[in-house]
Chains A and B, each alone.
Chain A
């Protein structure tokens, strides 16, 4: 149980375009979803926290107008990287939480901006 999926697993886009990443909790309802970014050989950095039906809370230094998060239902959250640039190339990982003491992580999405 507690499976989280992400789609796509890998995306390549051109500089200036936007790309959407989906995060789904497959077998549970997630009250909270989190979005992380991980650069090569570095740790996961929390970008934002979102609760279903409300606006996401962004971490300091994360541009909310560039990284749009929508948490439309208890099983789906999306992250849209707008006007992507090569420096946005990274591994984006979501996690979902149904109770306070655990986060279940998705498999990640590798974004390459050319």
Chain B
């Protein structure tokens, strides 16, 4: 079993829809949770990070962590074609960005 499981998609939604991306994990030691966006043949770009259970909002993006269920989500509101990319969840057992374990990524396509 992988430490971090993420549905690879692809996920295709119309412009303006709310997108929900999810990951589950097995290691209860994970304390630091991140979401990255990766465009084709580019390096990942950090979107959001959080340490605690609950919600964290940044513009159109909301990150949600449920440590009791070992489940994290990223919600994108008012999705735009420019949001089309691969979204990677990532987590670390440390309160730092070292030893990051990445999910396999979900390919998202926003249809105009």
- The answer to whether residues A101 and B104 also contact, given A49-B98, A93-B44 and a CB cut-off of 8 A, is no
The answer on a CB contact under 8 Å between B96 and A100 is yes
Chain A residues whose CB sits within 8 angstroms of the CB of B6 once the complex forms: 43
CA distance A106 to B38 in the complex (A): 11
Main secondary structure of the interface of B (DSSP, over half): loop
Mask of B85-104 contacts with A, CB within 8 angstroms, 1/0:
00010000001111110111
Q: Size band of the A side of the interface?
A: 20 to 34
The answer on a CB contact under 8 Å between A103 and B43 is no
A77 interfacial contact with B, CB 8 Å: no
CB distance from A95 to the nearest CB of B (A): 8
The answer on a CB contact under 8 Å between B44 and A44 is yes
Task: List residues of A whose CB falls within 8 A of some B CB.
Answer: 4, 6, 32, 34, 41-46, 49, 91, 93, 95, 97, 100-108, 110
